[in-house]
Structure 1
Amino acid sequence: YFAFFSWFRVEQFREILDKRSKKYTGMPLYHFSQRWMQSKNYLWFVRIQSLVAFAICAGLILMGIIGPLFSVAASPK
């Protein structure tokens, strides 16, 4: 699911970049650099989102492994 989600995001981003490069060819460099910075921020947002999702998945897996171990260790023999 998440791989598809990130792929969809990348495709969306590529489309936006294509539109922008066509739209801003006649614009001054200042405006273009501003837009580029905004797109960079968007990239960082996607990266942070993927990091958060990865952390949640890792946490769930770790809980799945460690939880039973702790319950076995805590239960009296």
Structure 2
Amino acid sequence: YTETSWEVFPQGLTDTLQWIRERYDNPPVYITENGAAFYDPPVAENGRVVDSLRVDYLRKHIGAVHHGNRGRLGHVRGYMRGR
């Protein structure tokens, strides 16, 4: 879950791509906002911010898009994560 108590559910993205494909005959899709609110670590270690929750979130959602494209669930041409 995120800091705002929203569930992290990458399968929902895959399901939405499938719905778009079926409902609208597989149009090109641009995901223009995809992100989550997580706790921001106040201190960087060795000049790098340890942000494993966001990295994991993005890894899973990019994987859902990749799975959707390979499985013909949607024709995603762009993915912008948001802030």
Normalised by the length of structure 2, the TM-score is 0.36
Larger Cα-atom Rg:
1
Q: Which has the higher contact order (CA 8 A, sep 6+)?
A: 2
Higher helix content, 1 or 2: 1
